[in-house]
Structure 1
Amino acid sequence: MAVPVAAVAAAATACGTSGDATKSDGAAAANRPAAPGAVTSSPSMSSPGTSSPTTSAAQATIATATVGNLGQVLVDGQGRTVYLFEKDQGGTSSCTGSCAAVWPPVTSMGKPHAGSGAQASMLGTTSRSDGSTQVTYGGHPLYYFVPDNGVKGSAKGQGLNQFGGGWYVVSPDGKKVEKSGS
């Protein structure tokens, strides 16, 4: 599945290069859709046709849910699918700039929380180049996929090869799931 160029350009323009929605920088933050992040207060419309929550609290929750025919995979506290990027090495994110506009990092301002089905011992964090803190699971930095539109159970990013590597949903044991999402 290819992401339309207009969608990528719109996401890159709206998000800037940081991909960090947990910090407020005045007008820039107001014009940038909040990446689906840690814990949210209430949904808001961030741009026409896409719904993204507003990030406001300190602690991300990672849990599991059955997503399509992928089985039990990692999701955030609102049931949104999270992904790993094969290009990441040593627990460090390789996705910044335009990549992070399409694949926003799962961020937390506090220690991540293990929800139902997730193993607390597998949760961690890593520092991003922009100073934000990204949630990791089994050593893999975690991301959302903008075309999922924050929809619970959507996994449109499964198996894509973008920005120099493969993107996969994550099993509760911290490994990529290689099944097709459809």
Structure 2
Amino acid sequence: MHTRFASTLALALAAAFTLPAQAEPAPKMAGGMLVNAAGMTLYTFDKDQAGSGKSVCNGPCATLWPPALADADAKPAGDLSVVTRDDGAKQWAYKGKPVYTYAADKKAGDATGDNFKDIWHIVK
């Protein structure tokens, strides 16, 4: 029982001290792929349905694949739109599919998540 309590406490403390993700300006095409303002590669997730208006990558999934968050008053244009996440945050979408960065990508131009488990793909 003590181990379960300690695990739960550790998770609660980690959540309490995790800074919230910051909203980003609109993504843009660079080098043949969609990137965020910092030049980090953006990906789509096959389990997200284009046009559904939501993301299915939440919890631990969103820790590994952080959503590209948008300001509440973001002005999408062209193929860019905004969806609402389960927690109410706004997320950028490309052609109706939410977009994400990949935690293992460390610098602009990294694309180590492309075709991860055959369900994550660079937006080209």
Normalised by the length of structure 1, the TM-score is: 0.55
Q: Which residue of 2 aligns with 1:48?
A: none
The superposition leaves residues 72-130 of structure 1 with CA deviations (integer Å, 9 ceiling, x where unpaired) of 000011211110000001242110111001001111113156xxxxxx31111111110
Amino acid at match of 1:101: T
Unaligned 5+ residue runs, structure 2? 1-10
Distance change (3 Å), C-alpha of 1:108 and 1:85: same
Structure 1: tracts of 5 or more residues without a match: 1-12, 17-27, 39-59, 67-71, 114-119, 172-182
Determine if the alignment matches structure 1 residue 32 to structure 2 residue 14: no
Q: Which residue of 1 aligns with 2:43?
A: 83
Assess if the C-alpha contact under 8 Å between 2:23 and 2:68 holds in 1: yes
State, as a whole percentage, how many aligned pairs show the same letter.
Answer: 34
Could you report, residue by residue, the CA deviation over 1:34-75 in whole angstroms, capped at 9, with x for unpaired residues? 54741xxxxxxxxxxxxxxxxxxxxx2211112xxxxx0000
TM-score by length of 2: 0.78
Query: 1:96 matched to which residue of 2?
Result: 58
- Structure 1 segments of 4 or more deviating over 6 A? none
Q: What is the number of residues matched between the two proteins?
A: 110
Structure 1 or 2: more strand by fraction: 1
- Tell me the equivalent position of 1:73: 33
Q: Greater CA radius of gyration, 1 or 2? A: 2
Does residue 160 in structure 1 map to residue 116 in structure 2? yes
CA RMSD of aligned residues (A): 2.1
Q: Which has the higher contact order (CA 8 A, sep 6+)?
A: 2
